[in-house]
Amino acid sequence: MMQLLSIQNSATTFSKLSQGKLIVLTGPSGVGKGTLMRTLLQRHPELYYSVSATTRAPRPGEIDGKHYHFIERSKFEQLVAHGEFLEWAEFAGNYYGTLRLAVLNQINLGKCVVLEIELEGARQIRTSFPEAKSIFILPPSLTELENRIRGRGQDPEEAIRRRLNRAHEEIQAADEFDVQIVNDDFEAALQSIETALDSFANCKQ
């Protein structure tokens, strides 16, 4: 991790984006993005998942470097100042960001890189890299969204409230993205994501 974070920006640019692809999965907290992404990666190991950095404390079972790079706020701010993030945002009281270098390297190797990020970061990617493709995951209803966040049982009440408040605004932004998929039946949603990946690019085998 320290080695990763200490790498300075290289001259690598998105001029070579055509060699690989960047795919963004976004949607409100608790909609099932992470669960969908995990299954997608199991089925399609050829996809490269970009592990984000965050200042959030690890949840039980989360592993540094696998689920997130867990870092202090001061370190995150230093990385922002050095331009190390492709995108970043503050969400429900914590910072989250995609490390630029790892993503660019994989794209330049011809990989399809998938990001699982919240709305502001997804908007930043859309502005900076219009070639990127995006999928917005919707819940079947707000009641079901709340049930899922609570059922996950991993966030304190204050964090749950912040996430649900934010969800209203996020859902209204769904049409800004290339494809909208309702995650009601899990398998059906997964298949819709696979179909979308096929239509974007030859990203999976």
Ligand X SMILES: Nc1ncnc2c1ncn2[C@@H]1O[C@H](COP(=O)(O)OP(=O)(O)OP(=O)(O)O)[C@@H](O)[C@H]1O
Query: Using CB under 6 A as the criterion, which residues of the chain lie in contact with ligand LQESDW3C when the complex forms?
Result: 29, 33, 52, 56, 87-89, 91, 96-98, 116-118, 120-121
Please tell me whether residue 104 binds ligand X under the rule CB under 6 A: no
Question: Which residues does 13 contact at the CB level (< 8 Å), separation at least 6?
Answer: 104
H or E stretch at 176: none
Q: Taking the complex as a whole, how short is the minimal distance between the CB of residue 183 and ligand X, in angstroms? A: 5
Binds ligand X by CB under 6 A, chosen from 23, 183, 192, 203: 183
Cβ proximity to ligand X, 13 vs 147, nearer residue: 147
C-beta of residue 186 within 8 angstroms of C-beta of residue 179: no
Please tell me whether residue 152 binds ligand X under the rule CB under 6 A: yes
Query: Alpha helix locations (H) across 119-177?
Result: 119-128, 142-152, 157-172
H or E stretch at 117: none
In a 3-state reduction of DSSP, which class is residue 31? coil
Number of residues engaging ligand X in binding (CB under 6 A): 12
What is the chain's Cα-based Rg? 16
Please tell me whether residue 29 binds ligand X under the rule CB under 6 A: yes
Cβ proximity to ligand LQESDW3C, 86 vs 196, nearer residue: 86
Residue 121 partner contact from ligand X, ligand LQESDW3C, none using kind-dependent CB cut-offs of 5 to 8 Å: ligand LQESDW3C
Tokens coding 179: 């494809």
Binds ligand X by CB under 6 A, chosen from 131, 151, 158, 165: 151
Query: What number of other Cβ atoms are within 10 A of residue 190's Cβ?
Result: 19
Burial-class residue 75 by CB neighbours within 10 Å (0-12, 13-18, 19+): middle
52 labeled binding residue: no
Cβ proximity to ligand LQESDW3C, 57 vs 205, nearer residue: 57
C-beta of residue 29 within 8 angstroms of C-beta of residue 169: no
Residues 33-72 that bind ligand X (CB under 6 A): 33-35
Q: Taking the complex as a whole, how short is the minimal distance between the CB of residue 141 and ligand X, in angstroms? A: 12
Residues making contact with ligand X (CB under 6 A): 29-35, 148, 151-152, 183, 186
Binding-site positions for ATP read 27-34
